[in-house]
């Protein structure tokens, strides 16, 4: 069996077979909880478990899992070290980090996302009723697992399929609005540093992420970008070259205030089960900026952003989406393509240049 056999097996997964999950956690209690939760999920089977990273790496070629759940704090080889090895040996194998959302756990989980983890799930707190804990972790894990392994029946959309639709290339861009979910932190960490210091428009970002992770993502993006990346603050005036990230659990919108355009935050009801929601941001920029809005829909599960992208295009703005081959989950971007509300499909490395071509064409 080749080093990449598990990743290859994942890529050729058929919908007729149950999804095989390898649970990696040093806690006997946690392994039992995850096994019970996943065993109760239709279409998912537990292929095996491992008490640390070294055992997990030895079991991958034996068990041929489709997905791995991975704890952070483990003896011998911890979750971060194990993730690095998995990414080197099995680049196509989805890994879901599963750890406590406190202190070191949240910081290390964020680091794992930056190193290529496919998703993150918080372990239930010790105070939670065991039966409720199983239901909660089952629902969240099963949703993420099925989204990560779902393979579309249609042929992948080529990034060049929409090149002929870029008639809005010369439209004046006044704001860049971006939306992402699963895989988004890595995608943003790739794109934002590529934007120049003299970017003549503000950037607004909705990333589906727990509230405690938002400052960590802001710090990460700010440390590697020439632009100022900040967590959005209600009432702040938008200026060129600023990057604003929606806080966790707050919708981000924009509004006119005299001659200025300002940020607005709210705890209005979730949209698409999300707060912040990409649709909320996109609807807002479409209303305020009209044809000056440029939306970018990136990797992520679900359909958040599809209706907002439609609103941007109805207002005369443009929409760029990430292609399937470079997305961790082609749900949001794929939904926009299926809805026919896209001007251009780009691979991840092509998104930055595509943005800049449109931005620098402003006023032509």
Task: Please give the Cα distance from 32 to 35 (Å, whole number).
Answer: 5
| 160 CB neighbour count, 10 Å cutoff | 12
Please tell me which residue in 49, 52, 66, 208 is annotated as part of the active site.
Answer: 208
| 262 CB neighbour count, 10 Å cutoff | 17
Give CA 185 to chain center in angstroms: 6
In three-state secondary structure terms, 179 is strand
Alpha-carbon torsion angle 198, 199, 200, 202, nearest 10: -130
Is residue 106 within 8 Å of residue 213, measured between CB atoms?
yes
Pairing of strands 260-266, 251-257: antiparallel
- What are the strands, taking DSSP E only, across the chain? 19-24, 44-50, 67-70, 95-99, 119-122, 175-180, 203-207, 228-231, 242-245, 251-257, 260-266, 293-297, 318-322, 344-346
Q: Is the peptide bond before 326 cis (omega within 30 degrees of 0)?
A: no
Beta bridge pairs of residue 180: 207
CB neighbour list of residue 273: distance below 8 Å, 6 or more residues apart: 302
Quick check: is 225 catalytic?
no
Task: Please give the Cα distance from 196 to 193 (Å, whole number).
Answer: 8
The single residue listed with the structure tokens 């007729």 is 16
**Rg of the chain (C-alpha set):** 21
Task: Please give the Cα distance from 265 to 112 (Å, whole number).
Answer: 29
Between helix 103-114 and helix 214-223 the angle, nearest 10°, is 50
| Cα dist from 276 to 21, 95, 283, whole Å | 30, 24, 13
Quick check: is 181 catalytic?
yes
Quick check: is 338 catalytic?
no
Residue 101: half-sphere exposure toward Cβ, Cα within 13 Å: 11
Task: Please give the Cα distance from 203 to 196 (Å, whole number).
Answer: 12
Please tell me which residue in 181, 225, 284, 327 is annotated as part of the active site.
Answer: 181
Which positions are annotated as active-site residues?
Answer: 181, 208, 304
């Amino acid at each position: 069996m080749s080093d990449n056999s598990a990743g290859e097996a994942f890529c050729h997964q058929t919908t007729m077979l149950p999804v095989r999950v390898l649970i990696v956690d040093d806690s006997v209690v946690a392994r039992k909880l995850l096994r019970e939760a996943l065993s109760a999920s239709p279409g998912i089977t537990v292929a095996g478990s491992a008490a640390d990273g070294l055992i997990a790496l030895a079991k991958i070629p034996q068990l041929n899992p489709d997905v791995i759940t991975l704890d952070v704090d483990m003896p011998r080889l911890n979750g971060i070290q194990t993730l690095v090895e998995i990414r080197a040996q099995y680049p196509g194998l989805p890994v879901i980090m599963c750890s406590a959302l406190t202190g070191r756990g949240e910081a290390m989980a964020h680091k794992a996302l930056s190193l290529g983890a496919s998703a993150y799930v918080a372990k239930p707190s010790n105070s939670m009723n065991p039966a409720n804990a199983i239901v909660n972790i089952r629902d969240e894990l099963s949703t993420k697992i099925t989204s990560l392994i779902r393979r579309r029946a249609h042929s992948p959309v080529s990034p060049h399929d929409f090149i002929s639709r870029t008639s809005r290339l010369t439209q004046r861009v006044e704001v860049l609005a971006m939306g992402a979910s699963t895989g988004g932190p890595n995608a943003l960490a790739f794109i934002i540093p590529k934007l120049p210091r003299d970017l003549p428009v503000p950037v607004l970002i909705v990333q589906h992420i727990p509230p405690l992770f938002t400052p960590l993502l802001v710090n990460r993006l700010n440390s590697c970008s020439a632009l100022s990346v900040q967590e959005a603050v209600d009432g702040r005036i938008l200026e060129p070259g600023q990057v604003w990230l929606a806080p966790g659990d707050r919708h981000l919108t924009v509004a006119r205030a005299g001659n200025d355009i300002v940020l607005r935050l709210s705890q209005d009801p979730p949209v698409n089960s999300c707060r912040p929601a990409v649709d909320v941001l996109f609807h807002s920029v479409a209303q305020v900026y009209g044809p000056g809005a440029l939306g970018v829909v990136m990797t992520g599960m679900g359909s958040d952003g599809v209706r907002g992208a439609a609103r941007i295009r109805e207002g005369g703005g443009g929409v760029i989406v990430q292609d399937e081959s470079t997305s961790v989950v082609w749900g949001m971007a794929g939904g926009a393509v299926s809805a026919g509300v896209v001007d251009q499909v780009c691979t991840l490395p092509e998104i930055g240049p595509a943005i800049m071509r449109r931005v620098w064409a402003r006023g032509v």
